[in-house]
Amino acid sequence: MPRAGLDPDIVARRAIEIIDARGVEALTLAGVAADLGVATPSLYKHVGGLDDLVDRVAAIVTAELASGIGDATRGRSGRDALEALAAAYRRFALEHPGTYPLSQRHRDSQRWTTSAAAALAAVIDALRAYGVTGDDVDRIRFVRAALHGFVDLERGGGFGMPASVDASFAVLVGSLDATLRTAVDA
């Protein structure tokens, strides 16, 4: 019988905390069980093992990224929407240093696929004024690669020059806007 008050979401939320604090390599079922005050075998009543737990975490954080982008861009259009998208994306990556990478790698599960589809839909909605549709794979990848590259460098301490990283991010977003507008104007 599962422990009262413990369910798959609670287990996954604790795993998210561990991963964001210490990295995915620090995640163990024994560690999660100890933090939750149960024996390790008890977790199997709630998750199917470590791979299942990581999959649940990836789906949750990808859904949270989608929600953050959607909330930030709702009611906005054009450059305003792009700036809100970029800021939400960057904020999520910096606030979730361990779990952010799990939102970026394809996982072969329905749970993650559903969350990834929501994230993609939020991005497409934000870029609609640029003529971006679901079939516009190249421009979607262009925006994602630019944002991911920037935040990955920032997260890893890759910007050592004594200049404002925020200003550099604004230049990146301005460049994305100019390039996306060129495609609309063509």
pLDDT of residue 27: 97
- CB proximity list for 34: less than 8 A, separation 6 or greater: none
Burial class (CB in 10 A: 0-12, 13-18, 19+), 25: exposed
- pLDDT tens per residue across span 31-55: 999 999 999 999 999 999 999 999 9
pLDDT of residue 5: 80
> What is the rounded average pLDDT for all residues in the chain?
94
Q: How far apart (Å, rounded) are the C-alpha atoms in residues 12 and 74? A: 28
The count of other CB atoms within 10 Å of the CB of residue 91 is 13
CA-wise closest residue to 179 among 133, 127, 125: 127
Q: Hey, what are 137's tokens?
A: 């794979």
Longest dimension (CA), the chain: 63
All domains of the chain in start order, with CATH: 59-185 (1.10.357.10)
Which long-range contacts does 50-53 make (Cβ < 8 Å, 24+ apart)? 53/11, 53/12, 53/15, 53/27, 53/29
CA-wise closest residue to 15 among 45, 50, 42: 50
CA-wise closest residue to 3 among 34, 53, 35, 39: 39
Give the confidence band of 113 by pLDDT, cuts at 50, 70, 90. Answer: very high
CA-wise closest residue to 86 among 9, 133, 149, 136: 149
Q: What is the mean pLDDT of residues 3-22?
A: 91
Is a pLDDT exceeding 90 seen at residue 81?
yes
- pLDDT tens per residue across span 28-37: 999 999 999 9
Q: Considering the chain, what percentage of its residues have pLDDT values greater than 70?
A: 96
Q: Hey, what are 82's tokens?
A: 């792009």
Give the confidence band of 185 by pLDDT, cuts at 50, 70, 90. Answer: low
Q: How far apart (Å, rounded) are the C-alpha atoms in residues 66 and 50? A: 24
- Mean pLDDT is lowest, of 2-11, 29-38, 44-53, 102-111, for 2-11
